[in-house]
Amino acid sequence: MASAMPNAGGQYFWASELAPRKWSNFLAYITGGIAWAGAIFTSASAVLSVASAFVGVYQICNPEFTFNPLQVSGRWPVFIAYELVNIFAWFFNCYGKAIPTTAQITLYTSLISMIVITITVLAKSSPKNSAEFVFATFRNENGWPSPFIAFVVGLINPNWSFACLDAVTHLAEEVPRPEKVVPIAILGTVAIGFVTSFGFQSWKYLNKPCSPLQEP
């Protein structure tokens, strides 16, 4: 669809064009509303993940700091961090000229960090887990009675990572040859994400942790 009908509207435009005339307006409105709500929830979850990461890092650096995220009364540190990240994002988006440069910096920082972490883990971890443990062992430690359900639940995180995959479709009117560039960007994101994440996770689980704070 991104190749045959490139349009900044994305899903609601395709619904309007492809649905029967009798239902096109209604379905386009519903599709647009769902996409809008999804953007809000995705933004909120992204901010929450950043806030949780900040609080987690602070707790690691300050062991005396304790809070219980399972209780409502113990979530205030994450809430405060959440609001601070929101305020920062609001100010940041007031100056759109800085967004492209920041996006490039974060891209290269992410790639370099992945390479550095991978090399460090492989070089410093000892002893290492076997290849059989990494690629052929399935451990269900999350309480679900069925390994299949545990596997499906485990797909929530990678699904969240690709939640904004359609973002490039909304740039169809701002890039040259969108009928070619937009599909390449979408499929390229999936391909690069699979290769890098699969390799990163494989190398990570080669490490045999020696601390109870690390993953089993």
Query: Do 7 and 52 sit in the same domain of this protein?
Result: yes
Residue 196 has pLDDT above 90, yes or no: no
Residue 92 has pLDDT above 60, yes or no: yes
59 and 81 Cβ atoms separated by less than 8 Å: no
Query: Do 169 and 210 sit in the same domain of this protein?
Result: yes
Residue of 30, 50, 28, 48 lying closest to 40 (CA atoms): 48
Residue 173 has pLDDT above 80, yes or no: yes
CA distances from 183 to 1, 145, 162, 187 (A): 9, 40, 15, 6
Average of pLDDT values for 123-135? 80
Instruction: Quote the CA–CA distance of 66 and 45 in Å, as a whole number.
Output: 23
Average of pLDDT values for 185-197? 87
Query: For position 212, what pLDDT does the model report?
Result: 44
Query: Do 83 and 137 sit in the same domain of this protein?
Result: no
Query: For position 152, what pLDDT does the model report?
Result: 86
Query: Do 6 and 89 sit in the same domain of this protein?
Result: yes
What's the chain's average pLDDT? 84
Domains contained in the chain, number: 2
Is 161 contained in some domain?
yes
Query: Do 83 and 133 sit in the same domain of this protein?
Result: no
Query: Do 137 and 210 sit in the same domain of this protein?
Result: yes
Residue 211 has pLDDT above 60, yes or no: no
CA distances from 77 to 49, 65, 70, 200 (A): 13, 10, 13, 30
Query: Do 61 and 136 sit in the same domain of this protein?
Result: no
Residue 208 has pLDDT above 60, yes or no: yes
Residues 6+ apart with CB under 8 A from 4: 179
Is 34 contained in some domain?
yes
Residue 210 has pLDDT above 60, yes or no: no
Question: What pTM, to 2 d.p., does this model score?
Answer: 0.70
Average of pLDDT values for 63-67? 78
Whether the ω angle into residue 212 lies within 30 degrees of 0, i.e. cis, is no
Query: Do 88 and 132 sit in the same domain of this protein?
Result: no
Is 202 contained in some domain?
yes
Residue of 83, 51, 98 lying closest to 59 (CA atoms): 51
Which residue type is seen at 134? V
Segments forming the whole domain that contains residue 49: 1-94
Is 88 contained in some domain?
yes
pLDDT band at 70; cut points 50, 70, 90: low
Average of pLDDT values for 43-49? 89
Query: Do 156 and 201 sit in the same domain of this protein?
Result: yes
Is 99 contained in some domain?
no
Rg for the chain, CA atoms, rounded = 21
Is 100 contained in some domain?
no
Query: Do 214 and 147 sit in the same domain of this protein?
Result: yes
Is 108 contained in some domain?
no
End-to-end C-alpha distance for the chain, whole angstroms: 43
Residue 71 has pLDDT above 70, yes or no: no
Residue 215 has pLDDT above 70, yes or no: no
Is 113 contained in some domain?
no
Which range has the worst mean pLDDT, 109-118, 128-137, 187-196, 204-213? 204-213
Query: For position 109, what pLDDT does the model report?
Result: 93
Token pair of 168 as six digits:
């490039």
Residues 6+ apart with CB under 8 A from 202: 134, 135
Residue of 205, 204, 198 lying closest to 138 (CA atoms): 205
